[in-house]
Amino acid sequence: MSAPSKKSLIAVIAVIIIAATTWIFSASHQEAVVPVDSNPGMPAASTTAAAGEHCGGNMTTARSCVAGYHCAPNPQSHLPFGDVGGLCISN
């Protein structure tokens, strides 16, 4: 029986590398992302904002104004209202 050729050894190594890479980066072997409470022991932030408080913005935790108020651009800010939100003012 003769020794394996250089081409066949390279092919086997390539298959091993591809299989290992696929296994390492597959979803079943990735660590789960667990949210961390940045304020342990503190009450959860309110989802509503009262008169004059910050509201809106381009984020999943943007606060909404209480009944009778709406979110309007902050006149003291030069930033885009849709991105940074504004202040709750009376309807």
Sign of the CA dihedral with 20 first, then 22, 27, and 32 last: positive
pLDDT in tens, 18-47: 877 776 666 555 555 555 555 566 556 678
What global pTM score does this model have? Answer: 0.49
Residue 84, Cβ density class (10 Å: 0-12 exposed, 13-18 middle, ≥19 buried): middle
Which residue segments constitute the domains of the chain, with CATH numbers given?
48-90 (4.10.40)
Report the distance separating Cα 15 and Cα 64, nearest Å: 54
Q: What is the mean pLDDT of the chain?
A: 79
For the chain, the farthest-separated pair of C-alpha atoms sits apart, in whole angstroms, at 89
Q: Flag whether pLDDT at 69 surpasses 90.
A: yes
Percent of the chain with pLDDT over 90: 20
CB within 8 A of 47, min separation 6: which ones? 61, 63, 64
